[in-house]
Amino acid sequence: MAGDVRLPNKRIGAWLLLAVALVLPLSGSADEAQAADGLRFSLVKTAQSESSDFLLRRGGWQQPQPVQHVAVLIEHRGSRLLFGTGLGRQIDAQLDAELPWRIKRYGPVRPVRDQLDGDGLKVDRIVLGCVRWEHASGLADFPEVPVLASAQSLSYLKAATPPAVLPSQFRHRVRWQSLQFQARPYLSYAQSLDLYGDGQLVLVPLAGHGAVGLFLTLADGRRFFFRGDRLEHESDGVPGHVVALQDGRQQKALGFYPRWVQ
C-alpha cells in the first residue's frame, strides 16, 4: 500500500512497502566476475570525528576513541550493496539547515560516492541501518539507488526531530523499500533476513528506533558484525568469535577502502 513519509513540514516522497528480493540484481560493472566468486567487503571511511567529552567508565573518566564514519561496501553474487552511507557531499549544508549553531567535530569528508565514482563502481542497493544524521547523510548522493530500511526506522523517521534526524537529508525523493524480517532465529536474535539465502549476508533488527544489524560470513567461516547505529553499551551481545566492526581498532586493523576483506 502506498503512502507518504513525512517529517515535520517536509515531504520526503512516496514510498512502497515492498518485500526484499533474495537475490539482488546485477551491477553491470567490470568487476562482476570477481564479485560472483564469493562475498567480500570493504570499509569505506568518509570522515573521523573527535570528541571533547569524557565518559565515566571503570577506572575513572576517559576520553572516547575517535569515531570513524564508515559505510560497508559489499560485493556478492555479481551485485554491489552499501550498508549505511557515512557522511556525504552535503553534510555541512545539511547540518547548517537544521542546527547552524552546532560545532562540527568531524574532519575532512571523503564521501562514499566520490570514492566509488573515482574507481568506476556503481551501487545496486543501499541498506540504511539507521536513519540518524551520521548514517543517512550520503543518501542524497545516491538518489537513483533503492534504499532498504526497516518499517520501524521509517516510523521513527516520521516522528524524530533534530539533532537525531535531519529533515534536510531527506528532501530528495528516496526510493524506499521496506525490509521484511522473518521469524527465523539467528544467533541471539529472534528475527532475521537472509538477503541471498546462503547465510553469508544476514540482517537482524536491533532494539530501539528500528536500527538494523549486519552479519557477514566469509567462505572460510570468519564472521563479522556491523551495527547500523551507534553502540550504546560496552556489551553488545555479539558472540566472542564474531568480529565487531563497530570497534575503531578492529576497523583500522582491517583497513579502509580500497582495501577488501575476502
Q: Is 173 or 233 the better-scoring residue by pLDDT?
A: 173
Tell me the percentage of the chain whose pLDDT exceeds 90: 66
- Whole-Å CA distances, 68 to 56, 71, 118, 246: 21, 10, 21, 9
pLDDT per residue as tens digits for the range 180-227: 999 999 999 999 999 999 999 999 999 878 999 999 999 999 999 999
Residue 83: beta bridge partners?
72, 127
pLDDT per residue as tens digits for the range 71-105: 999 999 999 999 999 999 999 999 999 999 999 98
Burial label, 153 (beta-carbon count in 10 A; 0-12, 13-18, 19+): buried
Q: What are phi and psi of 135, to 5 degrees?
A: -110, -25
Confidence tier at 250 by pLDDT (50, 70, 90): confident
Classify 38-48+66-254 by CATH class.
alpha beta
Instruction: Write down the residue that cell numbers 552546532 correspond to.
Output: 102
Confidence tier at 53 by pLDDT (50, 70, 90): very low
Residue 63 pLDDT > 60, yes or no?
Answer: no
| CA-based nearest residue to 138, from 101, 205, 83, 80 | 83
pTM: 0.82
Per-residue cell: 100: 547552524
Cα(232)–Cα(244) distance, integer angstroms = 14
Confidence tier at 145 by pLDDT (50, 70, 90): very high
Per-residue cell: 123: 551501487
Cα(21)–Cα(180) distance, integer angstroms = 10
Tell me what pLDDT residue 24 has: 35
Residue 35 pLDDT > 80, yes or no?
Answer: no
Residue 61 pLDDT > 70, yes or no?
Answer: no
- Whole-Å CA distances, 184 to 146, 147, 191, 200, 202: 25, 23, 5, 15, 11
